[in-house]
Amino acid sequence: MALDAVFRDQWGRVLATLIGILGDIELAEDAAAEAFAVAAERWPRDGEPANPVGWLVTTARNRAIDQLRRRQVLAAKTTLLARDLETGPQPPEALMDDAAAISDERLELIFTCCHPALALDAQVALTLRSLGGLSTDEIALAFLVPFETMSKRLTRAKRKIRDARIPFAVPPGHQLPDRLAGVLAVVYLIFNQGWGGGRVDLAAEAIRLGRALAGLMPDEPEVLALLALMLLHDARKAARVRDGQVVPLDDQDRTLWDTQQIDEGRRLLHRAVARGRTGPYLVQAAIADLHLHQPRDWRQIAALYQTLARQTGSPIVEMNRAIGVAEIDGPEAGLAILDRLDLDHYRYFHSTRAELLRRAGRDGEAHRAYRRALDLAQTEPEQRFLAERLAETAPTAEAEPGRADT
Amino acid sequence: MQYALLVYAPPEETDRAARPIPETVAAQLDRPEVTGWARLHAAESATTVRSDDGVMLLTDGPFIDSKEYLAGLILIEAGNLDGALATARELLQPTRPGTAIEVRPVLDGRFRGA
C-alpha cells in the first residue's frame, strides 16, 4: 500500500494512541510526524512492517522520549513513559507484530477536539488536523483563510487543551448525549462546508470521519444516521451540477447517482431506525432517502419536516416543510408558512420564496425575490441558476414551470 | 490542579458592602474543592496603577471599563477542565441573573489566609 494511503488511514489512530501515552497533543503530533517521515524513507527500501500502526506508534514514542530527554522535562509523565525514559527507547519491533497491543483512542481524541470550551472554528480545524490527517495548509485552503491564521488557530487550541487541561476522555454517561451532539455537529458542518466548494473535498473528509465514528460507536443511532444522511446527499454529487449549473433534483440524470453509496446509506438508516430512538439526524436521513424516490412522497416529507421542526425549532426546517406543503396544497399554502419566518439573511429562503411566487403566478414579486437571492448567492453555479430565473421572471419574459429545490 | 474563577457581575442598585453574602452562595463557598475566595468591593472603589515610560499613573476606577465588573475571585481544585466547569456551574446557580464566571487555569501562585 502506498505510504500516502497508510498516512491518511492511520494518522488519527497513531496520533490518538500517542496522546494517550504522552498526554500532550503538540508533542504527540511532532513525534507522529517524525515517525511518518522515517517510514517514508525506510518502508520503500526495507518493505512495510507487518503491523504499520505498531511500528509508527513505537517509532514516534521513541522520538518523543528523545525529545523529552533533550528538554529534560521528565516529571508528570505516565509510569510507562517514566520506565522507558530510564531504560531508553525500545526497538520498533517490540510492538510490530501485535496489533492488539495498540489501543484505539480516537474516540477520546475526537471528544477532546470537539470540546465545547473550544471555539467552533477551532473544533473543526482540530478535528480535520488530528483525526482527518489534513495538513494545516489544506485546512487553510478549504476554509479560505491565510495559512498563518489557521496555524495560529490550531496552536491556540492545542495550548488551551494542555493549559486548561481539557480531558482526553470519552465523557461520562450523563454528559454523553450533549457532547456527542457537539461532535456530530462538527462533522456535519465539515460536510456542508464541502458543498460550498474548496480545494479539499471536505464532504469526503466528513464521510471518512463519519465512518470512523460509526465504527467506534456502532450502537449510537444518531452516529449511524448522520453517516447515512451524508452518504445519501453525497451520492447525488455527480448529478447536481451540469455545465457549471445547478440541476434541480427532478431534472438530475439518475444514472449519475452513486447507487452503491445510496444502498450503504439506506442500510445504515435501517440500522439506526431499528435502535428505536428518533433523533434529528435520523429524521434528516429519512427525508434525504424520501427525496431519492420517484415520484416523491411529499406528504411524508412534509410530516417528517414537521417532526424535525419540533425537535430543532429551526426556521430553516420550517422553510423546507413549506416546500413540501406547496407540493401538496399549492404554492400559496407554502408561501403562507414562509411569510411567518424570519430568514431574510438566508439565501435559500429568497430562492425558495421566489420559486413559490413564480408558481403562484406572482411574477413581479418573484423577480424581486430572485434578485435578493442572487445578491446573497455564494457559488458560481448558484449564481448562474438564479440569473437565469431572474431573466425568466423579468417583466417582459414569459415564465416556464420548474422547481428550485435541488 | 488549581483554577481561578473570575466572577463578573452586572451593575447593581444597592450597596454591595452593606449586603451579606447570600446563604446559598456562602454554602457553595464552603465546598471542599474551594481553596480560597475573595469578594471585592464595587468597581467604583478601584484605583488602577499604570506605568507610562517609567512614570507611574493613577486612574480612578477599574482597568477595564465595562458594564459588568469583577465582583470576586474563587480558587478551586479540580482534576481537569470538565471538573472546574461543573463547579463553576454550581457556583453560578445562586448568583444574580447576568452574572458570568470566567474559568482560568492557574499557572502558579501562593495563597495565604486573609
* Residue of B79, B81, B107 with shortest CB distance to A117: B81
Residue A167 sits at the chain B interface (C-beta within 8 Å): yes
B54 in a structural domain: yes
Hey, are the CB atoms on A164 and B81 less than 8 Å from each other?
Answer: yes
Hey, are the CB atoms on A166 and B81 less than 8 Å from each other?
Answer: yes
Hey, are the CB atoms on B85 and A117 less than 8 Å from each other?
Answer: yes
B46 in a structural domain: yes
Average pLDDT rounded to a whole number, residues A201-218: 91
The confidence score (pLDDT) of residue A80 equals: 54
Average pLDDT rounded to a whole number, residues A299-324: 94
**What is the band of A202 on the pLDDT scale with cuts at 50, 70, 90?**
confident
Taking only the tens place, the pLDDT of each residue in A113-159 is 999 999 999 999 999 999 988 889 988 888 888 999 999 999 999 99
**What is the band of A92 on the pLDDT scale with cuts at 50, 70, 90?**
low
Hey, are the CB atoms on B1 and A165 less than 8 Å from each other?
Answer: yes
Residue A310 pLDDT > 70: yes
Hey, are the CB atoms on A165 and B103 less than 8 Å from each other?
Answer: no
Hey, are the CB atoms on B80 and A165 less than 8 Å from each other?
Answer: yes
Residue A59 Cα, gap to closest chain B Cα (Å): 29
DSSP chain B: -EEEEEEEE---SS-TTTSPPPHHHHHHHTSTTEEEEEEPPPGGG-EEEEEETTEEEEEES-SS--SSEEEEEEEEE-SSHHHHHHHHHHHHTTSPTT-EEEEEE--S------
Hey, are the CB atoms on A164 and B82 less than 8 Å from each other?
Answer: no
B28 in a structural domain: yes
Q: Best of B82, B87, B102, B108 to disrupt the A interface by mutation (most A CBs within 10 Å)?
A: B82
Taking only the tens place, the pLDDT of each residue in A265-297 is 999 999 999 998 889 999 999 999 999 998 899
The answer to whether the CB of A187 falls within 8 A of the CB of A124 is no
Average pLDDT rounded to a whole number, residues A334-359: 93
Cβ-Cβ contacts under 8 Å for A241 (sequence gap 6 or more):
A247, A381
Residue A28 pLDDT > 80: yes
Residue A258 pLDDT > 80: yes
**What is the band of A1 on the pLDDT scale with cuts at 50, 70, 90?**
very low
B114 in a structural domain: no
Average pLDDT rounded to a whole number, residues A229-239: 94
- Nearest-CA neighbor of A135 among A154, A158, A122? A154
Domain span at residue B64 reads 2-105
The confidence score (pLDDT) of residue A94 equals: 52
Contacts of B103 in chain A (CB under 8 A): 164
Q: Is A71 exposed, middle or buried (0-12, 13-18, 19+ CB in 10 A)?
A: exposed
Instruction: Provide the number of structural domains found in chain B.
Output: 1
Helix (H) or strand (E) segment spanning residue A324: helix A315-329
B111 in a structural domain: no
**What is the band of A383 on the pLDDT scale with cuts at 50, 70, 90?**
confident
Q: What is the CATH number of the domain that holds B37?
A: 3.30.70.1060
Hey, are the CB atoms on B82 and A167 less than 8 Å from each other?
Answer: yes
Taking only the tens place, the pLDDT of each residue in B32-53 is 999 999 999 988 889 999 998 8
B112 in a structural domain: no
**What is the band of A240 on the pLDDT scale with cuts at 50, 70, 90?**
confident
The confidence score (pLDDT) of residue A196 equals: 47
B53 in a structural domain: yes
The confidence score (pLDDT) of residue A206 equals: 92
CATH number 1.25.40.10 is the correct assignment for the domain at A298-392: yes
Average pLDDT rounded to a whole number, residues A357-368: 93
Residue B83 Cα, gap to closest chain A Cα (Å): 9
CB atoms within 10 A of CB A117: 16
Taking only the tens place, the pLDDT of each residue in B7-40 is 999 988 888 888 888 888 888 899 999 999 999 9
Residue A99 pLDDT > 90: no
Average pLDDT score over chain B? 90
Average pLDDT rounded to a whole number, residues B72-92: 95
The confidence score (pLDDT) of residue A341 equals: 94
Residue A12 pLDDT > 70: yes
Residue B70 Cα, gap to closest chain A Cα (Å): 21
Contacts of A171 in chain B (CB under 8 A): 82
Q: Please give the grid coordinates belonging to residue A182.
A: 457537539
Residue A186: HSE in the Cβ half-sphere, 13 Å Cα cutoff: 27
Q: What percent of chain A has pLDDT over 90?
A: 60
The confidence score (pLDDT) of residue A81 equals: 60
Whether the predicted model's global pTM rises above the 0.90 cut: no
Q: Best of A165, A166, A168, A175 to disrupt the B interface by mutation (most B CBs within 10 Å)?
A: A165
Residue A83 pLDDT > 60: no
Q: Which of residues 107-136 of A touch B (CB under 8 A)?
A: 115, 117
B69 in a structural domain: yes
Residue B114 pLDDT > 70: no
Residue A65 pLDDT > 60: yes
